[in-house]
Amino acid sequence: MTSTELIPAPPRAAARRALLAGSAGNLVEWYEFGVYGCFATVIAANFFTPHTGAGAEAASGTEALIATYASFALAFFFRPVGALLFGRLGDRLGRRPTLVLVIGLMTLATTLIGLLPTRDAIGAAAPWLLTLLRVLQGLSAGGEFGGAVSLMTEYAPPGRRGLYGAWQSFTVALGLLAGAATAAALAVVLPAQALYAWGWRIPFLLALPLGMVALWLRTALEEPPGAPPAKAGPGVRGGEGPPGGGVRARAVVLGIGRIMGWSAAGYTFLVVLPSHLQSTLGASFRDALLATTLVTLGFAASILPAGLLSDRYGRRPVMLGGALGIVALAHPLLRLLQSPGTPLQVRVVAVLAAGALVGLLAGPGPAMLAEMFPRRVRCTGLGLAYSLANAVFSGCAGLVITAWTARTGDTAIPAHYAAGACAISSLALLTLRGNDHRESLR
């Protein structure tokens, strides 16, 4: 079979099963990342503060928070390793065994975080053990995206690839929302002392039953149409790939450029915002979690419509609209949140709008990446592009924003970061061809 042959459309029932199995693992993964972001100040107090006393005052230490985000970033820098390792397995052995393996590893590492002794209990070993588990999560997350997106888009019916790929991003939003909602519920139910002492463990332990469900769904999967992997052929649509062999670096770099705005703005608004509102703007833990929940709702609400629109009008206009919208509105939206005189209703609209703009990038993004690479290197190629973009622009978001805000005193650093990345990403998105969404995957 050559890479120019068309793959027959899969049965609808099989496509729905693949969509469910692929989405379930994404939800578990991003639930955990959402929990880690929401509890960054709590984790800082328990694992990265060298003195005893894990109360709110200890948690506000900038150095401990920076150390927490450094651990966060380290996990992201292991994602490209996971994308390369598990991507090769997915391209050579199949999507199913790879997806089963990565969800098992993610579930194990997340559950163990909930069981870790704190720094008060075992001293300096605590942050190192936490960082080791974050590395394991980074490896599994690196393989998750490439396998799941390949599975979803290869099973997608004709004309619905954008929508099927958007489910990956939608379950990211659901996972982040579930993490924020769980954290908010615990903050309401538990007193601060109990939350810092043991309550933070509950969301991490909940990953175990969630992961077991995802594992069960994935063990029942069949390989998508076109398996086994095709032989060498043209690399990437639009002359972006090699005439044979592996993934060309130029294609991966172009993919990074196209999604760097999505990576930077997504983590700035959806993950870093709670700690920034607390440490820099003096917001309470509960108010910060509420803001996170609202921005994630806006994000979730726009993802599937954006995927549908990209199936009809193309990936380029939808993603460009999101990137340029963030460039234009990031600073005004942040000023509204910072101003003490801003009415509550306006604040709500501001955070919903911020999330919705990121959704315009995240909806078409997975299908756009899948269309860049042929099946024989799809897991590896799109996984590398996504994981490298996330390593640089997502994993470092909290570290860069927190450190530069502390150094300069400029509370608009999050807006500078998100708008700058989206401005550069807009240039790369201009290289998209208008008819890629109408062509069949090879």
> What is the tens place of the pLDDT at every residue in 173-226?
888 788 878 888 888 898 888 888 899 899 999 989 988 998 998 888 777 766
Does the pLDDT of residue 409 top 50, yes or no? yes
> What is the tens place of the pLDDT at every residue in 250-270?
899 999 999 999 999 998 887
pLDDT bracket for residue 41 (50, 70, 90): confident
pTM beyond 0.85, yes or no? no
The answer to whether 57 and 113 are in contact (CB under 8 A) is no
| Mean pLDDT of all residues in 363-383 | 93
- Residue-wise DSSP of 14-66: HHHHHHHHHHHHHHHHHHHHHHHHHTHHHHIIIII-SSS--SHHHHT-HHHHH
* pLDDT of 184: 80
> What is the tens place of the pLDDT at every residue in 294-351?
888 999 999 999 999 999 999 999 999 999 999 999 999 888 877 777 787 888 888 8
Does the pLDDT of residue 36 top 80, yes or no? no
Lowest-pLDDT range of 137-141, 323-327, 415-419: 137-141
Does the pLDDT of residue 236 top 50, yes or no? no
The answer to whether 252 and 369 are in contact (CB under 8 A) is no
* pLDDT of 244: 43
Cα separation of 220 and 24, whole Å? Answer: 13
* pLDDT of 226: 60
* pLDDT of 54: 42
**12-220+248-436 falls under which CATH superfamily?**
MFS general substrate transporter like domains (1.20.1250.20)
Q: Higher confidence at residue 145 or residue 49?
A: 145
Average confidence score pLDDT of the chain: 82
For residue 228, whether the previous peptide bond is cis, meaning omega lies within 30 degrees of 0, is yes
* pLDDT of 72: 66
| Mean pLDDT of all residues in 161-181 | 88
Of 49-58, 153-162, 335-344, 359-368, highest mean pLDDT: 359-368
Burial of 97 (0-12, 13-18, 19+ CB in 10 A): middle
Q: Where are the domains of the chain?
A: 12-220+248-436
